[in-house]
Amino acid sequence: MKIAFIGLGAMGYPMARHLAKQHELRVWNRTRSVAERFAGEERCTLAASLDECADAAAIITIVPTSREVDEIVDEIAPRLREGTLWIDCTSGDPVTSRQTARRLGELGVELVDAPVTGGTPGAEAGSLTVMIGGSEGGFRRAEEICRAFGKKIIHVGEVGFGHAIKAASNTMLAANMWAAAECLLSLKKMGMDLKTAFEVINAGSGRSNASENLLPKRILDGEWPVTFKLGLLDKDVRIAASTAHAQHLSLPLLSLTSQLYTAAHHALGGEADYIEAVKYAARMSGEEW
Ligand code: NDP
């Protein structure tokens, strides 16, 4: 199938690699040298401009936010063909994606929101989980394509629900990570050995992805790799908090989590790794890990 892939970032690059092995792939990236490197490594064609992506049977976007997706839609819209499927793998905003879906629908193009989870290792391995919002037909078409990089592909309801569940899931991670960091900081200040603390927590009721996988490597081993930008997690939490607010719900923990990650973003910069937020959590008490 003729597929256009837009956004060869930390996630997009390895995802596109899987697609190139199965489809007639055309790639475009804002920084052209990245697309050229990709084209040097994989069987694909290089789009000279976004316009050259418009005649594909399916267009995949994975860029930072829904704003960039909309800018791309604006640019390509006049040349889109009826029947095209637009798969937006960005972790976007459900309200915007519904508006974009309506706009594309008027051109005969179906948009499904299809954010992914599993991080860069999942993208490399082709084992991502893909949560797809859209019609039953759109889901079926997208599922076949997303199989190239996804292991678990779930239809989560109408368009927008993919982005909504992705934001909610990352917000749960963010809140949990912050709570774990605060508890660990208190134990550390008391003088407890944190290796022992992790051993107990991970055998008991406080166990989580943060305590089992994310924090020990950073806090115990002192390794802080950049895998997912803090600016992007801040964006996800902001989406979840603003979606709740727009529904006139009183969800204070969501608001607080959003405030904390926005503060961490400002303090550490958006390019820092998301888990470095726990450094900021410690600095709020004048401490370091
Ligand atoms: P990166 O910052 O690594 O890549 C972003 C991509 O978007 C790059 O290709 C970049 O191009 C492109 N881009 C940025 N701005 C624009 C623009 N204005 N117009 C066109 N293209 C643009 O991000 P990730 O790959 O990490 O994340 C992409 C999406 O996936 C985000 O929504 C993120 O939340 C989500 N995600 C990320 C995960 C991760 O672990 N990293 C996991 C799951 C979801 P250029 O090369 O020019 O900068």
What are the pLDDT digits (tens) for 219-264? 999 999 999 999 999 999 999 999 999 999 999 999 999 999 999 9
Q: Distance, CA 277 to ligand 1 centroid (Å)?
A: 19
Closest atom of ligand 1 to 235 CA is 34
Atom 1 of ligand 1, nearest CA residue: 9
The reply to whether ligand 1 has any atom less than 6 angstroms from the CB of 62 is yes
Q: Under a CB-based contact definition with an 8 Å cutoff, are residues 19 and 149 in contact?
A: yes
pTM over 0.85? The answer is: yes
- Write the pLDDT tens digit of every residue in 109-164: 999 999 999 999 999 999 999 999 999 999 999 999 999 999 999 999 999 999 99
Atom 31 of ligand 1, nearest CA residue: 64
The pLDDT value given to residue 135 = 98
When pLDDT is cut at 50, 70 and 90, the band that residue 87 belongs to is: very high
| 118 Ramachandran zone, left/alpha/beta (phi>0; psi -120 to 50) | left
Q: Which residues contact 141 (CB under 8 A, 6 or more apart)?
A: 58, 85, 110
The pick from 62, 235, 236 for probing ligand 1's pocket by mutation, whose C-beta has the most ligand atoms within 8 angstroms, reads 62
The pLDDT value given to residue 10 = 96
What percent of the chain stands above pLDDT 70? 100
